Amino acid sequence: MLLKVENLCKDFPVEFNVFGKPIRFLRAVQEVSFEVEQGSVFSIVGESGSGKSTIARVLSGIYKPSSGRILYRNEPLENRKRSFDIQMIFQDPDSSLDPRKTVAFIVEEGLHIHGIKDRRERKELVLETIKSVGLTEDVLKKFPHQLSGGQKQRVAIARSLVLKPRLLILDEPTSALDVSVQAQILNLLMEIREIHQLTYILITHDLKIVNHLSDQIMVMYLGQVMEMGETEQVMQDPLHPYTKGLLASVPKVDSDNLSKFSMTGEISSPLNPPKGCVFRTRCPLAFDKCQERPPLIVHRNRKVRCHLYG
């Protein structure tokens, strides 16, 4: 097992008293547990505000967890010596690349930070990595504003790849790109995974991508796990009403039973989530017991949080 997350919680203070002490919190992630096997693609899906990107930022070290435990190769994540084993590719390359630096500096910076002092070695690694993502050497002298959207995302991939990580966290890696470029970047990511034997955690709202690339899927809503299991099982036979609603929202040529299933309203504010089941205010199948919080149970070889089961 490469990564194991146990009861992860992340709170953000939103209100303080006169002494500067936080007195009100936004719980972005609530008691989330999952495991990621070496060499697999683990997808986290859900609408905006579901906690997907917060989990990604906790795993990459941008945020510290409020509680819970994260094990990387059976060791606490904060104790790992090779901190560059986990890297992250962000959604928008325009905001993640320094506009004042050249591509060469951007890709090389991580090597310098992590103690590779030999300049020639750094230059060779940068050139090798740039070529591996489908870019030419002349790109190294350019600035981000001189590149296309697809080229910028390739630079972002190269910046993470040059450190030779074992786990890549992909936070909506194609959503900021033109449709014509999205497939190219996805194909590149899968080629890189095969060549370097990488493990991916894919954060996305695009279920078509998940169905094509993923081995395991975790469905999130308002910081909680709604359903989790093998991608093929979840996509073909969803259990939770929220999962069914997400799949029903994907345009299809052929209609099926899910096409009649629809969610109502919009996702609630995480500052004031519904009591009991957080999805009950939008669920067409809600009943009285949904006013109590359902546990996450095992049903048909997967996990689901719903009073309809168990």
- Give the model's pLDDT for residue 82: 54
Find the range with the poorest average confidence among 152-166, 255-269, 287-301.
Answer: 255-269
Find the range with the poorest average confidence among 12-16, 31-35, 118-122, 222-226.
Answer: 118-122
At 178, list the tokens: 């033109």
- Tens digits of residue pLDDT in 187-213: 999 999 999 999 999 999 888 889 888
Smallest CA-to-CA distance from 32 within 167, 275, 168, 226 is with 226
Is 150 contained in some domain? yes
Beta strands in the chain (DSSP E): 3-16, 22-36, 41-45, 67-72, 75-76, 86-89, 167-171, 199-204, 216-221, 224-230, 297-299, 302-304
- Give the model's pLDDT for residue 173: 86
Is 107 contained in some domain? yes
Assign residue 180 the CATH number of its domain: 3.40.50.300
- Tens digits of residue pLDDT in 245-281: 999 887 764 555 555 677 878 888 888 899 999 999 9
| Structural domain that includes position 64 | 3-304
Find the range with the poorest average confidence among 68-72, 181-185, 257-261.
Answer: 257-261
> Which residues are CB-neighbours of 63 under 8 A, at least 6 positions away?
10, 54, 57
- The partner residues of 157 in beta bridges, in order of sequence, read none
Q: With bands split at pLDDT 50, 70 and 90, how would you rate the model's confidence at 80?
A: low
- Give the model's pLDDT for residue 113: 81
Is 79 contained in some domain? yes
- Tens digits of residue pLDDT in 103-140: 999 999 988 887 776 888 889 999 999 999 999 999 99
φ and ψ at residue 33, rounded to 5 degrees: -130, 135
* DSSP, residue by residue, 28-72: EEEEEEEEE-TT-EEEEE-STTSSHHHHHHHHTTSS--SEEEEEE
Whether the CB-CB separation of 172 and 204 falls below 8 Å is answered with: yes
**Mean pLDDT taken over the chain:** 90
> Which residues are CB-neighbours of 32 under 8 A, at least 6 positions away?
5, 7, 8, 9, 51, 55, 68, 220, 223, 224, 225
Smallest CA-to-CA distance from 161 within 236, 111, 226 is with 111
Is 218 contained in some domain? yes
pLDDT at 14 over 80: yes
More reliable by pLDDT, 16 or 251: 16
- Give the model's pLDDT for residue 92: 83
More reliable by pLDDT, 112 or 12: 12
Q: How far apart are CA 107 and CA 116, in angstroms?
A: 13
- Tens digits of residue pLDDT in 24-60: 999 999 999 999 999 999 999 999 889 999 999 999 8
Q: How far apart are CA 233 and CA 228, in angstroms?
A: 10
- Give the model's pLDDT for residue 24: 92
- The partner residues of 8 in beta bridges, in order of sequence, read 32
- Give the model's pLDDT for residue 115: 76
Q: With bands split at pLDDT 50, 70 and 90, how would you rate the model's confidence at 182?
A: confident
Is 34 contained in some domain? yes
Is 310 contained in some domain? no
pLDDT at 175 over 90: no
Domain count, the chain: 1
pTM flag (> 0.85): yes
